[in-house]
Amino acid sequence: MIREMINTSDDKSLTQGTIFNCAFCPRYKNDEIFGLIITARCDIANENKVRTYNFIPVIPFNLWKEFELSILLKDRVIKSITNQLKQLIEKSGFTMSNLNTYGEEKILEIIKKDNKLKTTDLSNLLIQLEKLHIINEVGNYEKKYSIFKRDIEEIIKSVIENKVSDYFFIDEIAGYGASIANLREIYEIDIETAKMIKDGLTLKRGRPYLGLNNKLENDFCSIIGQLKSPYIELLLQRFANNFTRIGIDNHNSLIINKICEVS
């Protein structure tokens, strides 16, 4: 069941938790994404206190899955793939250095010609090489999902359950589907531009807008809605945790033995 996380009936208020379209993010400069205002409500109420509002990018899942999901997937599976690949290459009498130096085509040619691997091992080697190619590609989600279905579903489940510190999952933004807020990136929009968004702002191609993308097919920037409570509070808590963690030295392992000793 989809959680109703966005109040779309309020498309005029500009406050903490407001979501607007046409936000700018370098990673998605050719795509329409959203911005979610994180500036404190008291600062927004006191216009003389700040000159800009801060926002974080919110990416529709159909865009996020092609880029950022690829990074998470690679981090998750690369070690397993390279370990299996290394074992098979060494089983054939070569090393990973040989593979990198002479290339796959030459090494595979020799392996097949001299029958250096059993049929099942050769088949597995080809599978691992294909997996390695796929995870190093940007995009190609459908192919990745067909090969790494379980891994991808586990990653998405972890994001939804707030177990991945960089992201916050929003079940649905009307007209765009599921979306994901990036809790690591912060951008600015100037107050005067933000005020114009409340009534809808048609972006002009030749004019720069701090925090907005004026190179999109959809050039009408407006408020989409408000992230409801308690989701906005949870998002801000998780956002703050990324930047307020305090690093300390690890404990000395001997202390456990010392305090547990029986006199």
- The residues spanned by each domain of the chain are 6-60+164-244, 66-156
pLDDT, position 263:
58
pLDDT, position 24:
95
pTM given for the model: 0.86
Closest CA to 31 of 8, 2, 3, 59: 59
pLDDT along the chain (263 residues), means of 10: 91 92 94 96 84 96 95 96 95 93 93 92 95 92 95 97 96 93 96 91 89 92 96 96 82 81 67
Query: What is the fold of 6-60+164-244?
Result: SH3 type barrels. (2.30.30)
C-alpha span between 230 and 162 (Å, rounded): 14
Extended strands (E) in 88-205? 167-173, 177-182, 187-190, 201-202
C-alpha span between 140 and 70 (Å, rounded): 9
C-alpha span between 62 and 67 (Å, rounded): 10
pLDDT, position 220:
94
pLDDT, position 262:
66
